[in-house]
Amino acid sequence: MFKVACLLAIYTTWISCVVTLSVQFNYKDADEMVEFCLQNKIPMRGHCIFWEVEGYNQGWLKTLSSQELTEAVQNRVVDLLSRYRGKFLHYDVNNEMLHGSFFHDRLGPDIWAYMFNLARQFDPQATLFVNDYHVEDGEDWKSSPQKYLAQIQGLLKQDASIGGIGVQGHARTPIGAILCDAFDKLSSVNIPIWLTEIDVASSNEHVRGDDLEVIYS
């Protein structure tokens, strides 16, 4: 069955902060979107709690010491997931870990699993996802299915509470067989796979139709 959930960009709630440990969050836009979805019975998934790519992290985070950054990570999870506890079906916990190392470089190799397990503590009902792009299309050497699988297996060995594998489905080239092969590889860990974003952009309408058939089947 093909399932759809509204993707809410919750990462922006962390932008309005001061450069101190008394972090201030701005939930105005997020609260309005959540209320709209609840009133209209639209399922929601949260994107994202953290973003591992350095360029998407705010300047104030980059000024913090390791201890201060660890406290900021804790505050982020506790505040966000306590506020929306039970309202989101999914969270992308730390977005695009194949393409960045912001928290990993500053806080060490255990921080990723810690993020997942802290999130599980504060919203045990939500399914927690890894999420990355170009995993399915063979276009990016950083994010082959094999590398994604190895990363997931490494996190599972650290007892990270991973409940879903997110694949950002940006299909720009003929990829029907490649996509199926990627999903077959990822399925070996027996964790549900979701296409968290979808666009199929081949200029050839017949190729585009074939790729859409693969995606929706």
Burial bucket for residue 190 (CB in 10 Å: 0-12, 13-18, 19+): exposed
**Options 96, 136, 139, 213, the catalytic residue:** 96
Between CA 159 and CA 148 the distance in angstroms is 17
Choice among 32, 71, 197, 213 that is catalytic: 197
The conformational region for residue 16 under phi > 0 = left, psi -120 to 50 = alpha, else beta, is beta
Two tokens at 216? 């929706």
Say whether 52 is catalytic.
no
Tell me the C-alpha to C-alpha distance, in Å, between residue 69 and each of 11, 52, 62, 119: 16, 13, 8, 17
The end-to-end CA distance of the chain, in Å, is 8
DSSP state letters, 145-210? HHHHHHHHHHHHHTT----EEEEEEEE-S--HHHHHHHHHHHGGG---EEEEEEEE--SSHHHHHH
- Strand partners for 27: none
**Annotated catalytic, 213?**
no
Catalytic center residues: 96, 197
